[in-house]
Amino acid sequence: MSRLAQRARERVIEGGLAVCAGLSLVTTAGIVAVLTWETVAFFRDVSPLAFFTGRTWTPLFFNQQFGVLPLVAGTLLVAAIALATAVPAGVISALYLSEYAPPRVRRVAKPALEVLAGIPTVVYGYFALLFVTPWLQQWIPGLTGYNALAAGLVLGVMVLPLVSSLSEDALSAVPPGLREAAFALGATRLQAAVGVVLPAAWSGVSAAVILAMSRAIGETMIVAIAAGQQPRLTASPLVPIETMTAYIVQVSLGDVPAGTTAYRTIFAVGTLLFAGTFVLNLCSDWLRRRVPGAVR
């Protein structure tokens, strides 16, 4: 191959690779464009004030009301239950794995937790609806067949590996010197872990918690199956509610004609979902980039 042809070939390949890398930027642009386009059309029919402050969400009924608060409340309720499960359990297991567990236990436990993260969410939905809810109903009399509690608990199990593995990464990144100093002063492993290592890894652990929250808000199938499809402004975890994601699924399965306001609601709700998770992901990313072990 002549020198010139070879150089041309190199340039062509390099260009092709750059196009591949650029495609991810196009994806983001596509998401923003699609969401913006349909949401702007939606807000031509519905005032933003009614959307953000209304307390009734009935776009599929004859008397259409577009107050998104019930969906937001349902989403936050389920996410709160999930975090109340996943954060203590995740941080404790991370502390255990990084400060206590012998390497043998760690070698078995970490891949096993990964399996928990690899199970399709529709399977978790089945488990929440047909195993966890009936089991909880034995103890909680008022619990309905669809509820936020079972969905939230199972969602917590789903995000637990995320909290655990990211927290553990943060804990292991703490310089061993800090631990040794604590031990030299006579601290037990628990005193060193809670008094020294955890505060030093604070930013990484918070990053894990925020990312888990973002996942819990964006998760769809568990809540679509087990939490119900009744938008309701309530703090009770015992009755059916509806999350933003479950609403998008509900409309997608129905026969709402494209181009109507009712149809555009899924894009408006999707925009809200995208914006919320995006902000949480940015916060998490920013916290994770902070130097581990830096004393505040």
Partner 1 sequence: MTSARFADRAFHLLGLTVLVLALGMLGALLVDVARDGLGRVSWSFLTGYPSRRASASGLLPALAGSLWLVGLTALMAVPVGVGAAIGLEEYGGRGRLARLAEVNIANLAGVPSVVYGLLGLGVFVQVLRWDRSLLAGAGTLALLILPIVIITSREALRGVPASVREASLALGATKWQTVWHQVLPMALPGLLTGLILAVSRALGETAPLIVIGALSYVPFVPDGPRSPFTALPIQIYTWVSRPREGFRANAAATILVLLAVLLVINGLAIVARDRAARRRSA
Instruction: Looking at residues 236 to 255 of the shown chain, list those that interact with partner 1 (rule: CB under 8 A).
Output: 245, 248-249, 252-253
CB 119 within 8 A of CB 154: no
Contacts of 236 (CB under 8 A, 6+ apart): 148
User: Which two three-digit tokens encode residue 161?
Assistant: 């590996």
Which residue type, as a one-letter code, is found at position 91?
V
Read off the tokens for 245.
């994601």
Cα–Cα dist 111/237, whole Å: 32
Alpha-carbon distances of 102 from 97, 189, 210, 233, rounded to whole Å: 8, 13, 29, 47
Identify which range of 29-37, 42-50, 62-70, 167-175 contacts partner 1 by CB under 8 A: 29-37
Q: Examine residue 285 and tell whether it contacts partner 1 (CB under 8 A).
A: yes
- Residue ranges with strand state E in 123-262: none
**Nearest-angstrom CA–CA distance, 157 and 87:** 10
DSSP code for 139: T
Closest CA to 267 of 34, 46, 91: 34
> Binding-site residue total for partner 1 (CB under 8 A)?
83
Among 50, 189, 199, 239, binds partner 1 (CB under 8 A): 189
Closest to partner 1 by CB, 18 or 140: 18
At 90 the three-state DSSP class reads: helix
Minimum CB separation of residue 212 from partner 1 in Å reads 11
Which of these segments, 27-35, 53-61, 174-182, 200-208, binds partner 1 (CB under 8 A)? 27-35
Using the rule CB under 8 A, is 121 a contact of partner 1? yes
Candidate residues 120, 141, 142, 176; the one interacting with partner 1 per rule CB under 8 A: 120
Q: Is 198 in the site for partner 1 (CB under 8 A)?
A: no
CB of 93 to partner 1, least distance (A): 5
Question: At residue 185, what is the residue type?
Answer: L
Q: Which of 82, 221, 241, 262 binds partner 1 (CB under 8 A)?
A: 221
207 part of the interface to partner 1, by CB under 8 A: no
183 touches partner 1 (CB under 8 A): no
Q: Does residue number 47 form part of the binding site for partner 1 (CB under 8 A)? A: no
Cβ of residue 278: shortest distance to partner 1, in angstroms?
7
Cα 49 to the center of its chain, rounded Å: 27
Is 30 near partner 1 (CB under 8 A)? Answer: yes
| Interaction between residue 180 and partner 1 (CB under 8 A) | no
